[in-house]
Amino acid sequence: DTAISSLPTVFRATRVVKDVNGSDKCTMTFITHNIDFGNMLKNKLRLYKTLHTEVGEKYNSRKQDSQIEDTEDDHKLTIIVSHPHGCSKQISIGYYVSRHEMKNNDVYVVYTYTTATCTGSSGAPVYVLSRWWWWGCDHPHKGHCADNEELNYSGIAMY
């Protein structure tokens, strides 16, 4: 055990598991031989899921027949956590102004929002406070709107 946990930590992706074309989102597999590091990540992920659920239960919109209904009472707060151009973490706060449902599938949507970002923030998670979201299904930040540079938009994700 001691010999294995003292091996150097490997931070190299071994393979891309899923790459969704055009969505700025992918799933990757990483390997480490550092047991302590693996346990620390597992505990951090557990805490993240717990806090994510608590915020979701407090602010999510009401669901009717498993569909999300836009209401005047929605919390439109939108938060983006990014590391633009590989620099230090930036947290941007704004509001979503519209939610566009995809044709033939109203579960998948794109958000337009005022949350300011830098061009190096593509792929950063976008948290929309009032939407039913869970730990693995946040919207990726996509970029600036071509017709209004004061607005940004997300990639496609659920709700």
The 10s digit of each residue's pLDDT in 96-107 is 998 888 877 767
Domain of residue 96 covers: 1-159
CATH number at residue 156: 2.40.10.10
Q: What is the DSSP string of 62-115?
A: PEETTEE---TT---EEEEEE-GGG-S-EEEEEEEEEEEEETTEEEEEEEEE--
Question: Which tokens in the block code for residue 54?
Answer: 């608590």
Q: Where is average pLDDT lowest: 49-53, 88-92, 130-134? A: 130-134
Give how many domains the chain has, as a whole number.
1
114 vs 16 pLDDT, higher one: 114
